[in-house]
Amino acid sequence: MGKPQTWDRVIWTQISTDGTIGKFTTTAGETWALRALIAAGNEGLRPTDGAEGRFALLVEKLRALGVQIDSTSQAAGANVRTGFRLMGTVERFR
């Protein structure tokens, strides 16, 4: 991943499920993970096998910034897969 560059530093606004509005900044992997969650929409996403740990770590970093992210789980045979869904509305700050 290397050193964060200017292009991966993004300022976002969030309208939480309770209507409060906030602003936060992401860099590097946080930016990538948040973009993936936004692209997934209301369906959310489930990381591929082998990527769950890294993605879950990035989700925890986003939650520490105040981003509302719901965790979901789905049984797939003997395995239970965890997924994530963005709550509220998040948009790039202009």
Tens digits of residue pLDDT in 23-65? 999 998 999 999 999 999 988 888 876 667 788 899 999 999 9
Phi then psi dihedrals of residue 52, to 5 deg: -60, -45
Q: In this predicted structure, what is the pLDDT of residue 7?
A: 61
- For residues 78 and 59, which has the higher predicted lDDT (pLDDT)? 59
Whole-number Å distance between alpha carbons of 29 and 34? 8
Taking phi over 0 as left and psi of -120 to 50 as alpha, with beta for the rest, 15 belongs to beta
Taking phi over 0 as left and psi of -120 to 50 as alpha, with beta for the rest, 75 belongs to beta
Quote the pTM value. 0.81
